[in-house]
Structures are given as structure tokens and as C-alpha cells.
């Protein structure tokens, strides 16, 4: 009961349940395991006639015939199913290895087979050895089946967990993922799932096979002479306590090591993502030192479990060997002082030796379980993240937000980032009628991005509400809200794939003509056609192969294709070439038409062009109006026009297409 309860609550066993879904492969694995264990058991069982032959007591044929004949006269001992440490009814000398359920007919067949074994001791010996060889071959085939299927199931289960973790991550509220760290989550998805997969392979594969063989050998030893075997088992409770102690330590250390690996991936992500910045700042040395520190910290955590890992195996081996030695001395006493026939005693010793050898994987079982358990715990943490109310687990019947056509209202909205004392946005109110272009300006960190993120419901306001056409966006179907908004940010998210895929991002069946039309509206068509493969040209990671201005135009094409009534633009701060900039400006101007637009503005021309300018400072809206009005009355705005807002780049002639 206790073990069952532990298994049902243990993260590793919880994740391992996914393996039960692969019924066919599980059945094959089980058949393979049974075949290999039975063959091993039968081969081992034949050791007794061999011992008796060698020790000149009886021929193998006589021993086997005696076993068969004694069936019924003595209590049968179904050795193969024997659990370790389960005392059997005291068997007398010539124990029967044939289970009671074997019918008379089967016994007769066995008898006729055994009778074919030559009476001559040498030839009998050779025959038995040949049978053992055949059993070994069949057992090996079984072992292959078992291992092959187990690895298949383990790898497939790993894929399932990667899928589940990703599904959660992509649907979890953004603040949750940010708080936990994207790199750590990536690490959970890649490293931790790999660790549990390795655990499944080891535990349900070789370890389980060896463990069963150990149990069979022990069972046989118990069947031949249970008193002697029990002496050897006396050390088992000590072993169990020690193993538990080591397992706990390994689990804790593994969890820290996995966390540390997450930090390292975070560092790597930054260094690789900002490779250009690193090189321009001549900061390779700095990054090397930073990485070296992360790398060292990982090593420290990895080393923490080394003692527990390294010591468990020698301890088990020593205790097992000591047990067998004690038994050997007792056996010797029985042989020399009590003059008992040595063959049984020697057989017990051999069985116990084999059991001690095969039970060795118990240590690796315990270590692997602890490591995989720590990883499983982290995986389950992620899969238990809450999800945003979109497709996955969406609460049904939330009203769908109709296409926006009236107004957007922000009412007394305050928002704190998780763990942040000061609000990023404090008591902000704003009313924007449909079709208006609003430029949001303010110093860095004044809350512009946060405010616009709340419109898309990337975050939920701590207090206050956002209304679109009078509907509180926190109470509407999230998909219907996000469908209405197109966002063009500074960091255009381009991914590996064709240009057409990038423009149609997330819309799988978009016709090529619509993609090309959107590209034309974004003045991207021209440069795309100039590429060797045109719309089918593949972009590298992060859109490598395109200039900054070209990337922006792809992003605009994406927004055009989306045809959303609300547009959020984050103007590029970095200089793009004059031609690109003029094209972007013109595309955006056309895109804005008939939509409610918010622009985080960095250029003077944009703010002058806007219907209204909202000035933000320290998370608050401090003023709003037109350029002329604000210039006349708002000091911060005046300052911004002199410092932050870029003057227009001299416009180049813009040709559509
Ligand atoms: P802006 O877009 O005007 O530069 P932001 O909206 O990005 O300003 O940031 C507003 C405030 O919120 C800043 O003080 C910033 O440090 C903080 N902030 C922004 N993003 C996060 C985040 N993910 N976690 C914690 N604080 C954040």
C-alpha cells in the first residue's frame, strides 16, 4: 500500500504513466522480458544437475528424472514467481522445479525428453550445456525485443512530454512565463524531458530485466535452501535505508543542477542573440567570463551528487559480497562438519552470487530514479501552469467581441509586473474613438509598451478595465479580441521558413495572391521578387538574409494581411536607410486608414501626423492633445521633441511596388 501510494504521488511515476498509452509496444516489451527471464531462470535451474555431475553425485539425467518423479511427493516450488525474501514451505533435498500446474501429459513429455539425455555423465553434461546455450540464445532474442520496445516507448513518451510542455508554455499567460524565465522553460522542455526519457529507458529497460533476473536467482537460492539464503538477505534492510538516503540527496542535487542548466541556457541565449552587440563592444572576454561562471556553477551543482552516486554502488556490492561470504562459510561448515552433500550448497552459493551480481543495478535504479524524478518534477510544474483562456481549456460561452467600430476606453488602469513594487502603469485613463491615430510618446520606461500590451491582453490589469466598443476585454473570448489587433513591433519576429510563410504567419492556407497583395501594400513585393526564389526564398534564424528595413516591411505586410481594425505600431528607433524608411512610412500611412491606430512614436513626423498625442511619464498619462497644443503647454513634450523624437530622414522618391 505504502509503495503504491508513493508511486501514485511520485513525479517520475506520474510522468511514466504516459507510457501506458503504447499498448502494443508494451505488450511486446513484456513478452520479451518474460522470455528472457524464463530462459535465464531455466538455464540457471540446470546448474544443479551440472553441479551434481561435476561433484560426482548423480548424472544430469538422474537428477532431472528425480525432479520429475518427486513431483507430488514434495511441495512444489514455483521458483520463477518467487519473490525475494518470501519464505517457502521448507523444501527437502531434491526440490521440484516444476510448477504444480504442469499437467501429467506435460510431465510425460518432459520425462521422455529427459530420458533422451545420455546416461554417460560426460555426454549428459555436454547435453545440458547445449540446452543452456539454446536457452541463452532464445533469452537474448527476448532481451532484444524487450530493450528495443522499451527504448521506442521511452522515446515516444519523451516526445509527448516535450509536446505537453510546449503546449502549456505557448498557452500560459505571458507574465507567468516571464516570471519563470523563458530560458529555464526552454531548458525544461529540452533537458528535463531528455532526462526523464533516459530514466524510462534505463528503468523499464535494462534495470528491470536485471532486477527480475536477480529475483529469479534469489528465488532459486531460497528454493534450494531458504535458511542459508535468508542469512544472505539479512543485510537487505540496511541497504534499503542507505539507498533511500542517497536517493534523496541525488534528487535534490539534480534539481539544482537542472535549474543551473536553465541559467546557463539563459546566458547562452543572450550572448548568441546579441552576438553583434558583443562583438561591437569588444565584449567577447566579458561574455567568456560570464559563461565560465555559469558553467562553473553548473559543475558545482553536478558535483554535489557525486558522492551519493559514487558511494551507493560500492556499498551495495560490498554488502552483497559480505552476505555471500558469510553464506559461503556456513555452507563450508555444513559440508565439512555436518557432511551434507555439497552440490545443493554450492548451487545456493552460485545462485546467490548471480543474484548479488544482477541485483547490482538496484543502485543505478535508485540513482536514475532520483535524477529522472527531479526532472519529472520540473516538467510537471510547467504542465501545471495556468493557461490563457484561448483555445486550450477555454471557458466556453464567453461572448465574442464583434469587429471594433466605435471606441476604445482605458479606465483607471493600474498594472504591476509580477514581483515589482512600483506599478508600470498607474491609474491611466484614455478614450479613443474608432479610426483615430494616437501617438504615444514618453521617455524610456514610461510605460508605453506596457499600456499597449494591456490592450492585447498580454497582461491583465491589476485594477481598472479596458473596454472595446463598451465591452470589457477581460470578459470576452480572447481569440476574438486578438483577431482584431495587428501589431508591428521593432523586433520583427521572423522565423525559419519561406518569406510567404512569414507574411502569412499563423494562417496556413492563405492564397499566394493575397500574400503578394499584402506585400505590395507594404512595399515589400519589389525586393521579394528580386530574391532568387522570390516568395519561396527561405529565411534563416531570426530572418537572417534581410535588412532591418526589409524585415519591417515583411512585418507590415503581415499586418496588412491580418486586416485587423486595431493597429499597434512600435516605430523603429534604429536608422533604416532613407528609401526603406520612406516606403515604411507610406505603407503605414495607408495601413492606418480605417483603423484605430496606436503608435509608439520615435519620429517627429509621426507625432505631427497623428490625430492625438498621448504623453506618458513614470507610468502615467500626463497630457494629451495635438502637436501644437502640447508644444504650447507641456514641458515634458517640449523636451521630448528636442531629445527623443527623431527628425524626418530626407524622403526619397517612393515608387509603389
Ligand atoms: P516604455 O515602453 O515606455 O519604454 P515599458 O512599458 O517597457 O516602458 O516599461 C514600463 C516599466 O515597467 C519600466 O519601469 C520597466 O522597467 C518595467 N517593466 C517592463 N517590462 C517588465 C517586465 N517584463 N518585468 C518587470 N518590469 C518590467
- pLDDT 10s digits, 74-128: 333 333 333 344 343 334 444 445 455 556 777 788 888 888 888 887 888 888 8
The pLDDT > 90 percentage for the chain reads: 31
CB of 217 within 8 A of CB of 355?
yes
Q: What is the pLDDT of residue 389?
A: 67
**Ligand 1, residues 181, 414, 447, 614: which to mutate, most atoms within 8 A of Cβ?**
447
pLDDT above 60 (res 73) = no
Report which ligand 1 atom has the smallest distance to the Cα of 619.
Answer: 10
pLDDT at 6: 67
Q: Which pLDDT band holds residue 239 (cuts at 50, 70, 90)?
A: confident
Local structure of residue 378 (DSSP, 8 states)? H
Residue nearest to atom 17 of ligand 1 (CA): 424
Pocket lining: 568 vs ligand 1, CB cutoff 6 Å:
no
Distance of alpha carbon 363 from alpha carbon 366, whole angstroms: 5
**CA of 277 relative to ligand 1 center, distance in Å:** 22
| Per-residue pLDDT tens over the stretch 417-431 | 877 888 999 999 999
Categorise residue 398: left if φ over 0, alpha if ψ from -120 to 50, beta otherwise: beta
Could you tell me which of 599, 603, 635 has the C-alpha nearest to residue 614?
A: 599
Tell me what the mean pLDDT of segment 213-217 comes to: 90
- Taking the CA atoms of residue 319, residue 325, residue 327 and residue 329 in that order, the dihedral angle to the nearest 10 degrees is -150
Which pLDDT score, from 0 to 100, does residue 396 have? Answer: 65
In sequence order, the 6+-apart residues with CB closer than 8 A to the CB of 352 are 217, 218, 221, 229, 232, 323, 324, 327
* Helical packing angle, 47-54 and 121-171, nearest 10°: 150
C-alpha closest to that of 309 among 244, 250, 241: 250
pLDDT at 153: 96
Instruction: Say whether pLDDT at 151 is over 50.
Output: yes
Lowest mean pLDDT among 61-70, 216-225, 265-274, 403-412: 61-70
- Give all strands (DSSP E) within 212-319, no chain letters: none
Mean predicted confidence (pLDDT) in 216-233? 85
Distance from C-alpha of 415 to C-alpha of 45, rounded to nearest angstrom: 74
**Among candidates 592, 588, 591, 573, which has minimal Cα distance to 649?**
573
pLDDT at 652 over 50: no
pLDDT tens across 9-62, in order?
A: 889 999 999 999 999 999 999 999 999 999 999 998 888 788 877 776 778 888
Please give the Cα distance from 213 to 285 (Å, whole number). Answer: 55
pLDDT of residue 38: 94
Residue of higher predicted confidence among 364 and 458: 458
| pLDDT exceeds 80 at position 651 | no
- Quick check: helix, strand or coil at residue 339? coil
Q: Compute the Cα dihedral for 471, 476, 477, 478 and give only its sign.
A: positive
Contact at 8 Å (CB) between 568 and 488? Answer: yes
Residue nearest to atom 12 of ligand 1 (CA): 424
Q: Ligand 1: does its nearest atom lie under 6 Å from the Cβ of 424? A: yes
* 3-state secondary structure (DSSP) of residue 384: coil
- Strand 538-539 and strand 497-498: the pairing is antiparallel
Cβ of residue 422 lying under 6 Å from some atom of ligand 1: no
Distance 444 CA to ligand 1 centre (A): 9
Which of the listed ranges 209-213, 245-249, 258-262, 467-471 does the model predict with the highest average pLDDT?
A: 467-471
pLDDT of 644 over the 60 cut:
yes
- Asked whether residue 392 carries a pLDDT value surpassing 50, the answer given is no
Question: Whose CA is closest to 524, among 505, 500, 542, 506?
Answer: 500
**Ligand 1 atom 25 nearest Cα:** 417
Q: What angle do CA 607, 610, 611 make, to 5 degrees?
A: 140
The reply to whether ligand 1 has any atom less than 6 angstroms from the CB of 453 is no
Residue nearest to atom 22 of ligand 1 (CA): 417
Of 341, 464, 480, 449, the residue nearest 412 (C-alpha): 464
In whole numbers, what is the pLDDT of the chain averaged over residues? 83
Which residues have a Cβ under 8 Å from the Cβ of 513 and sit 6 or more positions away? none
Residue 574 scores a pLDDT above 80: no
Q: What's the pLDDT at 620?
A: 94
Residue 211: the pLDDT is: 87
DSSP codes of every residue in 99-113? -TT--HHHHHHHHHH
How many angstroms separate the alpha carbon of residue 445 from the centre of ligand 1?
5
> How far is ligand 1, taken at its centre, from the CA of residue 600, in Å?
14
SS3 sequence of 579-618: HHHHHHHHHHHHHHCCCEEEEECCEHHHHHHCCEEEEEEC
159 compared with 174, residue with greater pLDDT: 159
What was the pLDDT predicted at 603? 82
Long-range contacts, 5-9 (Cβ 8 Å, 24+): none
Which residue, chain included where needed, has cell 508591428? 488
Cβ of 450 below 6 Å from ligand 1: yes
Higher pLDDT, 279 or 195: 195
CA distance 217 to 223: 10
Tens of pLDDT, residue by residue over 317-341, are 788 788 878 888 988 888 888 877 7
| Radius of gyration of the CA atoms of the chain, in A | 37
Of the listed ranges 47-56, 154-163, 389-398, 557-566, the least confidently predicted one is 389-398
Evaluate: CB of 178 within 6 angstroms of ligand 1: yes
Q: Which of 58-62, 337-341, 576-580, 641-645 has the lowest mean pLDDT?
A: 576-580
* Ligand 1 site, residue 549, Cβ cutoff 6 A: no
Q: Hey, which residues does 74 pair with through a beta bridge?
A: 71
What average pLDDT score do residues 495-521 get?
Answer: 85
Q: Which ligand 1 atom sits nearest the alpha carbon of residue 417?
A: 25
Q: Does the domain made of 2-59+120-383 have the CATH classification 1.20.1560.10?
A: yes
Given the CA of residue 446, which atom of ligand 1 is nearest to it? 3
Closest CA to 223 of 58, 85, 51: 85
- Mean pLDDT, rounded, for 360-384: 86
Cα(315) to centroid(ligand 1), Å: 55
Check residue 148 and give its pLDDT.
95
In contact, 648 and 604? CB cutoff 8 Å: yes
Torsion region of 583: left, alpha or beta (phi above 0 gives left; psi -120 to 50 gives alpha): alpha
In ligand 1, which atom is closest to the CA atom of 600? 2
In 3D space, the residue among 523, 531, 510 whose CA is nearest the CA of residue 552 turns out to be: 523
Q: Is the CB of 443 under 6 A from ligand 1?
A: no
| 447 ligand 1 Cβ < 6 A | yes
Amino acid at each position: 500500500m505504502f509503495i503504491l501510494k508513493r508511486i501514485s504521488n511520485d513525479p517520475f511515476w506520474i510522468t511514466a504513466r504516459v507510457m501506458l498509452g503504447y499498448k502494443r509496444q508494451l505488450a511486446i516489451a513484456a513478452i520479451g522480458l518474460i522470455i528472457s527471464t524464463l530462459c535465464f531462470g531455466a538455464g540457471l535451474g540446470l546448474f544443479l544437475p551440472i553441479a551434481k555431475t561435476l561433484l560426482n553425485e548423480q548424472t544430469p539425467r538422474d537428477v532431472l528424472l528425480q525432479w520429475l518423479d518427486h513431483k507430488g511427493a514434495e511441495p512444489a516450488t514455483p521458483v520463477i514467481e518467487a519473490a525475494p525474501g518470501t519464505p517457502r514451505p521448507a523444501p527437502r533435498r531434491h526440490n521440484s522445479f516444476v510448477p504444480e500446474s504442469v499437467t501429467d501429459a506435460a510431465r510425460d513429455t518432459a520425462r521422455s525428453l529427459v530420458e533422451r539425455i545420455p546416461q554417460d555423465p560426460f555426454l549428459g553434461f555436454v547435453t545440458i550445456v547445449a540446452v543452456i546455450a539454446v536457452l541463452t540464445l532464445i533469452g537474448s532474442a527476448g532481451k532484444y525485443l524487450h530493450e528495443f520496445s522499451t527504448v521506442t516507448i521511452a522515446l515516444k513518451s519523451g516526445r509527448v512530454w516535450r509536446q505537453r510542455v510546449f503546449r502549456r508554455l505557448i498557452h500560459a499567460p505571458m507574465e507567468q512565463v516571464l516570471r519563470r524565465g523563458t530560458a529555464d522553460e526552454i531548458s525544461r522542455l529540452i533537458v528535463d524531458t531528455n532526462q526523464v526519457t533516459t530514466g524510462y529507458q534505463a528503468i523499464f529497460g535494462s534495470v528491470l530485466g536485471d532486477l527480475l533476473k536477480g529475483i529469479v536467482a534469489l528465488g532459486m537460492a531460497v528454493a534450494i535452501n531458504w535458511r542459508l539464503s535468508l542469512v544472505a538477505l539479512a543485510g537487505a534492510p540496511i541497504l534499503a535505508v542507505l539507498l533511500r538516503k542517497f536517493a534523496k540527496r541525488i534528487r535534490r542535487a539534480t534539481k539544482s543542477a537542472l535549474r543551473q542548466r536553465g541559467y546557463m541556457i539563459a546566458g547562452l541565449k543572450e550572448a548568441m542573440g546579441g552576438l553583434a552587440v558583443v562583438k561591437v563592444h569588444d565584449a567577447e572576454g566579458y561574455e567568456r567570463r560570464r559563461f565560465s561562471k555559469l558553467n562553473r556553477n553548473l559543475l558545482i551543482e553536478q558535483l554535489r551528487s557525486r558522492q551519493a552516486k559514487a558511494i551507493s554502488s560500492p556499498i551495495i556490492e560490498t554488502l552483497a559480497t559480505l552476505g555471500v561470504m558469510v553464506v559461503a562459510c556456513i555452507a563450508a561448515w555444513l559440508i565439512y562438519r555436518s557432511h551434507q552433500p555439497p552440490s545443493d550448497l554450492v548451487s545456493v552459493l552460485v545462485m546467490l552470487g548471480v543474484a548479488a551480481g544482477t541485483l547490482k543495478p538496484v543502485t543505478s535504479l535508485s540513482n536514475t530514479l532520483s535524477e529522472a524524478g527531479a526532472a519529472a518534477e520540473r516538467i510537471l510544474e510547467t504542465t501545471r501552469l495556468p493557461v490563457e483562456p484561448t483555445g486550450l481549456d477555454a471557458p466556453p460561452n464567453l461572448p465574442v467581441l464583434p469587429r471594433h467600430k466605435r471606441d476604445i476606453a482605458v479606465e483607471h488602469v493600474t498594472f504591476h509586473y509580477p514581483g515589482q513594487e512600483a506599478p508600470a502603469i498607474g491609474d491611466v485613463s484614455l478614450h479613443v474613438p474608432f479610426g483615430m491615430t494616437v501617438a504615444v510618446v514618453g521617455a524610456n520606461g514610461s510605460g508605453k509598451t506596457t499600456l499597449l500590451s494591456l490592450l492585447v491582453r498580454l497582461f491583465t490589469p491589476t485594477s481598472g478595465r479596458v473596454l472595446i466598443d463598451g465591452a470589457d476585454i477581460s470578459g470576452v473570448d480572447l481569440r476574438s479580441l486578438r483577431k482584431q489587433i495587428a501589431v508591428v513591433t521593432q523586433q520583427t519576429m521572423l522565423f525559419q521558413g519561406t518569406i510567404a510563410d512569414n507574411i502569412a504567419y499563423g494562417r496556413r492556407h492563405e492564397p499566394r495572391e493575397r500574400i503578394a497583395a499584402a506585400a505590395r501594400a507594404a512595399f515589400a513585393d519589389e525586393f521579394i521578387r528580386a530574391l532568387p526564389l522570390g516568395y519561396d526564398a527561405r529565411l534563416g534564424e531570426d530572418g537572417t538574409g534581410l535588412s532591418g528595413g526589409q524585415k519591417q516591411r515583411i512585418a507590415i505586410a503581415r499586418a496588412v494581411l491580418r486586416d485587423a481594425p486595431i493597429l499597434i505600431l512600435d516605430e523603429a528607433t534604429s536608422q533604416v536607410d532613407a528609401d526603406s524608411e520612406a516606403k515604411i512610412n507610406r505603407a503605414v500611412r495607408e495601413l492606418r486608414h480605417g483603423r484605430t491606430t496606436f503608435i509608439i512614436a520615435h519620429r517627429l513626423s509621426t507625432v505631427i501626423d497623428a490625430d492625438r498625442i498621448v504623453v506618458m511619464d513614470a507610468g502615467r498619462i500626463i497630457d494629451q492633445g495635438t502637436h501644437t497644443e502640447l508644444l504650447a503647454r507641456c514641458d515634458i513634450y517640449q523636451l521630448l521633441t528636442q531629445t527623443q523624437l527623431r527628425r524626418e530622414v530626407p524622403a526619397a522618391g517612393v515608387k509603389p511596388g
